Chain A
Amino acid sequence: MSDARKDILERIRAGLGRGPLAEGAISGLEKNLAAPTRHLIPERGRGEGRALVDRFRAEAERANATIARIAAREDAPAGVAAYLKEHGLPTAIRAAPALENVSWTEQNGLTAGFGQAGADDAVGVTQAFAGVAETGTLVTLSGPQTPSSLNFLPDTHIVLLDSARIFAAYEDVWTRLRTELGSGEMPRAVTWIAGPSRSADIELKLLLGVHGPRRLHILLIDGQGG
Chain B
Amino acid sequence: MKVSSPRFKDNAREALADAALRESLRSFTRSFPLKRQEAIARLPEFDQLRDIGRAIKDHSLEHLDFYLERFEAQVTARGGQVHWCRDAAEARETILRLCREAGAKTVTKSKSMVGEEIDLNDHLETHGIQPIETDLGEYIIQVREESPSHILAPAIHLSSGQIADTFRDKHPELPAQRSLDDPQTVLEEARAVLRNKFLNADVGLTGANFLIAETGSVVVVTNEGNADLVMTLPKTHIVLAGLEKVVPTLEDGTTILRLLARSSTGQDTATYTTFCTGLGAEDDPDGPDALHIVLLDNGRSEMLAGAFREMLRCIRCGACLNHCPVYAQIGGHAYGWVYSGPMGKVLTPGLLGLDHAADLPNASSFCGKCEEVCPMRIPLPKMMRSWRERQFEEKRTPARARAGLRLWASLARRPALYRWVMGLTFGVLGRMGRRRGRFRRMPFAGGWTAVRDFPAPEGKTFLAQWAERKASER
**A interface vs B, CB < 8 Å?**
1, 4-5, 7-9, 11-17, 20-21, 25-26, 29, 32-33, 36-40, 42-44, 59, 62-63, 115-116, 119, 135, 137, 142-144, 147-149, 151-153, 170-171, 174, 184, 186-205, 207, 209-213
Contact status B65-A62, CB under 8 Å: no
Q: A144-B285, A174-B251 are in contact. Are A194 and B270 (CB under 8 A)?
A: yes
Contact status A147-B270, CB under 8 Å: no
Contact status B63-A21, CB under 8 Å: yes
Contact status B271-A201, CB under 8 Å: no
* Residue numbers in B under 8 Å from A14 (CB-CB): 301, 305
Option from A12, A40, A170, A184 in Cβ contact (under 8 Å) with B64: A12
- Check: B415 CB closer than 8 A to any chain A CB: no
* Residue numbers in A under 8 Å from B70 (CB-CB): 33
Contact status A29-B63, CB under 8 Å: yes
Contact status B225-A197, CB under 8 Å: yes
Closest-by-CB residue of A relative to B216 is: A186
Considering only residues 142-161 of chain B, those with a C-beta below 8 Å from chain A are 153-156, 158-160
* Residue numbers in B under 8 Å from A189 (CB-CB): 228, 231-232, 274-277, 280, 287
* Residue numbers in A under 8 Å from B303 (CB-CB): 15
* Residue numbers in A under 8 Å from B135 (CB-CB): 201
Considering only residues 363-385 of chain B, those with a C-beta below 8 Å from chain A are none
A sample of 9 more A-B contacts (CB under 8 A), given A188-B279, A211-B191, is A32-B248, A36-B248, A142-B284, A188-B276, A191-B275, A199-B136, A203-B159, A204-B153, A204-B156
Closest-by-CB residue of A relative to B282 is: A144
Contact status A115-B183, CB under 8 Å: no
* Residue numbers in A under 8 Å from B159 (CB-CB): 203
Contact status A135-B269, CB under 8 Å: yes
Option from B28, B224, B243 in Cβ contact (under 8 Å) with A211: B224
A109 to chain B, nearest CB (A): 27
* Residue numbers in B under 8 Å from A32 (CB-CB): 248-249
Contact status A191-B271, CB under 8 Å: no
* Residue numbers in B under 8 Å from A205 (CB-CB): 183
* Residue numbers in B under 8 Å from A200 (CB-CB): 153, 223, 265
Contact status B277-A190, CB under 8 Å: yes
**B interface vs A, CB < 8 Å?**
24, 27-28, 31, 42-45, 48-49, 52, 56, 62-70, 83-86, 90, 94, 134-137, 140, 153-156, 158-160, 163, 183-184, 186-187, 190-191, 194-195, 198-199, 213-215, 217, 223-226, 228-229, 231-233, 243, 248-252, 254-255, 257-258, 265, 267-281, 283-287, 295, 297, 301-305, 309
Q: A9-B65, A21-B63, A197-B225 are in contact. Are A116 and B251 (CB under 8 A)?
A: no
* Residue numbers in A under 8 Å from B213 (CB-CB): 33
Complex CA–CA separation, A211 to B227 (angstroms) = 10
Contact status A152-B232, CB under 8 Å: yes
* Residue numbers in B under 8 Å from A149 (CB-CB): 232-233, 285-286
Option from A36, A115, A137, A213 in Cβ contact (under 8 Å) with B214: A36
Contact status A188-B281, CB under 8 Å: yes
* Residue numbers in A under 8 Å from B140 (CB-CB): 201-202
Complex CA–CA separation, A174 to B355 (angstroms) = 46
Closest-by-CB residue of B relative to A204 is: B31
Complex CA–CA separation, A58 to B383 (angstroms) = 42
Q: A5-B84, A144-B284 are in contact. Are A194 and B228 (CB under 8 A)?
A: no
A13 to chain B, nearest CB (A): 6
* Residue numbers in A under 8 Å from B49 (CB-CB): 39-40, 42
Option from A4, A12, A116, A148 in Cβ contact (under 8 Å) with B85: A4
Contact status A198-B275, CB under 8 Å: no
Contact status A38-B251, CB under 8 Å: yes
Q: A36-B249, A44-B43, A148-B286 are in contact. Are A193 and B65 (CB under 8 A)?
A: no
Complex CA–CA separation, A171 to B251 (angstroms) = 6
Interface centre among B48, B160, B214, B303 (most CB of A within 10 A): B214
Complex CA–CA separation, A178 to B122 (angstroms) = 43
* Residue numbers in B under 8 Å from A17 (CB-CB): 305
Option from B137, B252, B272, B276 in Cβ contact (under 8 Å) with A192: B272
Interface centre among A37, A148, A152, A209 (most CB of B within 10 A): A152
A4 to chain B, nearest CB (A): 5
* Residue numbers in B under 8 Å from A33 (CB-CB): 70, 213-214, 248-249
B202 to chain A, nearest CB (A): 16
List the 5 closest A-B pairs by CB distance, nearest first: A212-B225, A188-B280, A15-B304, A201-B137, A36-B249
Contact status A43-B225, CB under 8 Å: no
Contact status A186-B217, CB under 8 Å: yes
B241 to chain A, nearest CB (A): 13
* Residue numbers in A under 8 Å from B56 (CB-CB): 39
Contact status B251-A36, CB under 8 Å: yes
A-B contact pairs, 18 of them (CB 8 A): A4-B85, A9-B69, A12-B301, A32-B249, A39-B49, A40-B52, A59-B268, A135-B268, A147-B284, A186-B277, A186-B278, A187-B277, A188-B281, A197-B223, A198-B223, A201-B156, A203-B159, A209-B191
